[in-house]
Amino acid sequence: MEQDSNSEDDSVGPAEDDAQPPFPLGLSDSEAVEVLWQVRTQRRQTEPDLPDTVTRLTTPEGSIVYLVGTAHFSDSSKKDVSTTIRAVQPDVVVVELCQYRVSMLKMDEKTLLKEAKDINLEKVQQAIKQNGVMSGLMQILLLKVSAHITEQLGMAPGGEFREAFKEAGKVPFCKFHLGDRPIPVTFKRAIAALSLWQKARLAWGLCFLSDPISKEDVEKCKQKDLLEQTMSEMIGEFPALHRTIVAERDIYLTHTLRQAARCVEAPPNAEKVPAVVVGVVGMGHVPGIERNWDKELNIHEIMSVAPPSRFAWVVRNVLKGAMWGLLGYACFRASKGVGRALLSFPTVQSLLENIQKPSV
């Protein structure tokens, strides 16, 4: 659920004004660590002037979490993230991603734009294999929502997470955590919360999503993330679906942020000191994280996935049988066409005539 990344990003070097000071020659490893720790401490602002999208949370031990609320398709949000990380020099950066979406951190903008728009058969098959038929199809439909926004804006999603990854690599000793619940768990719990009729209605709405979106709309959604607002408008009549996709993930993100905010060891004596954490999440999750911050949380409850019902098993096998049937029919039609093509060749016709002649 949490994942550390290397504190240095080889593909992105530090900015010129962030360059590390030259080290005195002959330092031991422990001395070098202490110097780097002091450099980071000197750069860390105790009373930073941060954007309005940043919420400050604290723990009983004195750790501080700077929660950056972002819009997933926003250049302004990327600036908010970089400003916050540079100002507070955190021990940990936590982003609203899970291991199934971590690839977007290293992809370039052009590749991500192509990937977001290209929903093909291979992606459908992969989603079904990973999540099951119903959850997999729902994932594809939700990807379609993201692709629709991408196409309207010409902007790939996740820019604020890539910015966080890049800036975290410039901060000495900074760890990078994936803070979101694994997406297969979210989709399976979401599907289980809907009746068959509700699934059909939701799928219909997602399939025919076509409302135009402007960049001004995105910036307005700094008060509520665009992707989550689009989804909220569509799933508002399904409280159970909203609970699994938004409210449960609020709880999970709160849990991972609190875990990241545990005290850290400071050199040279490994003394426990309060941590500084930057969390990067969609603006729609900020109120829920604030509500849950001081509550007792039951993570096991929102990680369980009920086994499929007998009805779901029947539907899955009927769909699988239908797919195999269509594939077999396509192969049959293709083979008949190939056979007719082969029989039209004079060489094949002559060979058949020789076979059919009685032997003397």
Q: Is the pLDDT of residue 51 over 70?
A: yes
Q: Is the pLDDT of residue 169 over 90?
A: yes
Average model confidence (pLDDT) for the chain?
76
Region 116-124 average pLDDT: 62
CA 14, CA 23: separation in Å to the nearest integer? Answer: 16
Percent of the chain with pLDDT over 90: 37
Lowest mean per-residue pLDDT among 116-120, 165-169, 216-220, 337-341 = 337-341
Residue type, position 286, single letter: V
Pairing of strands 54-58, 64-70: antiparallel
Query: Of the ranges 47-61, 62-76, 99-113, which is most confident?
Result: 47-61
pLDDT tens-place string over residues 228-269: 555 555 555 677 777 888 899 999 999 999 999 999 999 988
Residue 318: the pLDDT is 63
Lowest mean per-residue pLDDT among 67-81, 214-228, 307-321 = 214-228
pLDDT tens-place string over residues 80-98: 999 999 999 999 999 999 9
Fill in the DSSP letter of residue 15. P
pLDDT band at 14 (very low <50, low <70, confident <90, very high): very low
H/E stretch holding 54: strand 54-58
CB 144 within 8 A of CB 234: no
CB 135 within 8 A of CB 189: no
Residue 348: the pLDDT is 46
Query: Of the ranges 41-45, 127-131, 320-324, which is most confident?
Result: 41-45
pLDDT band at 301 (very low <50, low <70, confident <90, very high): very high
Query: Of the ranges 31-35, 80-84, 152-156, 352-356, which is most confident?
Result: 80-84
Query: Of the ranges 42-51, 206-215, 216-225, 341-350, which is most confident?
Result: 42-51
pLDDT tens-place string over residues 127-152: 666 666 656 666 666 666 666 565 66
The contacts of residue 7 (CB under 8 Å, 6+ apart) are: 168, 169, 171, 172, 173, 174, 175, 176
